[in-house]
Structure formats: structure tokens, C-alpha cells
Structure 1
């Protein structure tokens, strides 16, 4: 199994998060030329209260957020807009951990007029890209990451989340 999902908030079960997360992660890895069967990711499906604690512990921000990710290895590119060093099967098989919060995701989906499944898929694709070294702090990196997200989501039949 590519993604090991630990569900703390039962509301995620209605979305069939296990299948959705596997599909999103597999599409992301495949888009980058990686074999999804060679890698593992842990996903915590939680609520806003839990993710707020994690956000404060790891980022010093005591409020909920939609998704957090913790890569097992730093793979980011040194050059702005550069492609990160992608992992290889073997010791790098564990890509890292992701946490996703139900209330924030549901509220964002509703505010954006998007199905919760589409928004959640986007956030998982986004988080997996973070595990692989992609980032959006520098403008060039954000452009690269968003371009990847849009392409991956397009292959999954999900519209561009950045288009108004």
C-alpha cells in the first residue's frame, strides 16, 4: 500500500479517504516518473483541533490549517525553480508523513464551490509534492509546484484549482 491512513476523525470515512489518497499519491509519483509501488507515505486524517496542535508544535502557528507535511529527507532544489532531487527505491522508500484536517478542508471546498473529494485530492497532491522537495516559498518554486499540481489534477479529471 502506498499510503497508510490513520483516521482520527470519522467524517473522513464518508469520502473513502484511503482510496482517494492512494489515487492522488500514485498520480503524483507517476507524473514524476516514479513507481508508486516503491514508496510509502503515512497520512493522519484528523480534525482542526489536532492539526492546530501539530501546526503550533512544528511551525509555531497555533491555528488550524488544511494540510501539513513532514518529508523524511530534505530534497529541495538549491536553485529557485529547480526540480528537487527525486527519491530512489530503497532507503528512501518512506517519503514522510502528512496530516489533513477535516473542518478546514470542508470549509475551503464549500467556499470555493468545489467537491470535497476534489479539494482533498488537490491537498494530498500538494502535500506529496512537499514530501518530494517541492515548495512554494520562492516565486519560481511556486510556479513549478503549481504547474505540477495542475497537470496531475488534470490527469485525474479535476479542474485547475488556481483558476478563479
Structure 2
């Protein structure tokens, strides 16, 4: 899998995973769907996460992950997939509250966001079942536990 990944760190959280980890998580998440992908990943603090969530989803709070699928003109065959925004302080707080390893939660939110970029959604129960099944399989392949075991994880939807 050929991934072009632009990572922008705009967060004061000190323990952001290495670029190689993000590439690995994305490669496994996208492997069955694409041969190549271009993704931008922006890691933000709560102020920017809140502003983006309010602007694009009308929700006035910082959320864990936002996905912005690329909107290419019909007939344009280009590997650009879209943008992901992860709010590091929210991610860390959720991992702590849910008793999960922070690295595993990073992996889960990257996989979750990547699936949104591919068109997966969880607004309806049947869609959620399909998406969560894909997340479980991908995370298992990456060596992580089921992210939905125990307390439910609230992950956000994609932004169209």
C-alpha cells in the first residue's frame, strides 16, 4: 500500500505517536480498499477541535475524531482520500476514562476516521454493525483488543 501522509501537529500533548505508527494503522485500514491513498492528519487541542466540530457539525464541543472525505469531480482518478482531525486531549481523556491503552485508542480513532473517509458510517444500526465489525477486524490484525468491549466508545461521524 502506497500512502502519502501529511501529519500536522497543532497540539501541546507530549506523547503523539510516531509517524510510522500512523502510516501502519492507515495502511492496514485501507489495504482492502485502495492501492494508494493521500491523507492529511491534523492533531489538535480542544480549542481547535471544538471550533471545527461547531463549524462543520453544529456541535459546540471538542470531539475525538473528525473525517473530511475528499470531494473529487466525477471522473477524476486520484488517490486523495481526505483529511482526518484528531483531538489529542479528548483522545487521552477517553482512553483514561475507559481504561484503555492510549496507543490502542490512537489506533482505533485513526482506523475509525479512515473508514469514514472510505464511506463507512454508523448513523443507522445496520451501518454501525458493519463499520464496527470492520474496525474490530482491522484492530485485531494490528494486534489490538476489541475497542467496543466494555464501555461504549463515542466516535464522531464524517463531515460531508
Structures share fold, TM-score greater than 0.5:
yes
Matches within 5 A, 1:118-157: 118-157=104-143
TM-score scaled by length of structure 2: 0.85
Aligned to 1:65: 63
Q: CA deviation at 1:18?
A: 1.7
Change (3 A) 1:73 1:9: same
Contact 1:47–1:102 (Cα < 8 Å) also in 2: yes
Equivalents in 2 of 1:127, 1:50: separation in Å? 17
Alpha-carbon RMSD: 1.6
Q: What is the aligned length?
A: 145
- Greater fraction helix: 1
Q: CA deviation at 1:34?
A: 2.5
Aligned to 1:2: 4
Aligned to 2:50: 52
- Greater fraction strand: 2
Q: CA deviation at 1:17?
A: 4.0
Equivalents in 2 of 1:24, 1:102: separation in Å? 17
Contact 1:71–1:132 (Cα < 8 Å) also in 2: yes
Q: CA deviation at 1:33?
A: 4.3
Q: Deviations over 1:93-149 (max 9, x none)?
A: 110001001110000000111111110110000000000000000111100000000
Structure 2 gaps, min length 5 = 151-160
Q: CA deviation at 1:24?
A: 1.0
TM-score scaled by length of structure 1: 0.83
Aligned to 1:34: 34
